[in-house]
Amino acid sequence: MISTFDNCYSLEVAPTIPLSVTDIGGCFIGCSSLRVPPVIHENILYAYDAFSACYALSGTLEVNATNLIEYADMLMDTNITEITGSISDELKVAILETKTVEEGE
C-alpha cells in the first residue's frame, strides 16, 4: 500500500502513484481540498474508500486498473462525473455508483 494521505486537508494535487503500488484503499480518504486525483494505473487492485470524503474532487478520474478487485465507496462524497481510461464501460459505471450509499446501509 502507498503511504496514506488520509485527512490531509491541505493536499490539493495528488502525487503520482508508483507502478509498484497495488493497494490505494483509503489512501486519500478525507482529503477535503483534493482537486486533482492521480491516475489509477493498471497495477492497482484495491481502491476501496480511496477518495471518500474528498469533497472538492470533481470532473474526471482516469482509471486503467483493468483487474480492480475492490472499489467499494471509492468515490463516496466526491463530485467526480466521468471515468476515463482503459477499463470496461461496466466498471466505469460501477465505480461512479460508489459516490452514494444505498439506502439502508
Domain range list for the chain: 1-105
SS3 label, residue 40: strand
CA 9-24-102 angle, to 5 degrees, is 80
Mean pLDDT (whole number) for 36-42 = 98
Cα 95 from Cα 89, distance rounded (Å): 10
Note the pLDDT of residue 57.
Answer: 96
Mean pLDDT (whole number) for 46-70 = 96
Note the pLDDT of residue 7.
Answer: 86
Note the pLDDT of residue 71.
Answer: 97
Question: Which residue did the predictor score with more confidence, 1 or 6?
Answer: 6
Cα 68 from Cα 46, distance rounded (Å): 6
Min mean pLDDT across 24-28, 50-54, 81-85, 97-101 is at: 97-101
Among 77, 33, 17, CA closest to 53: 77
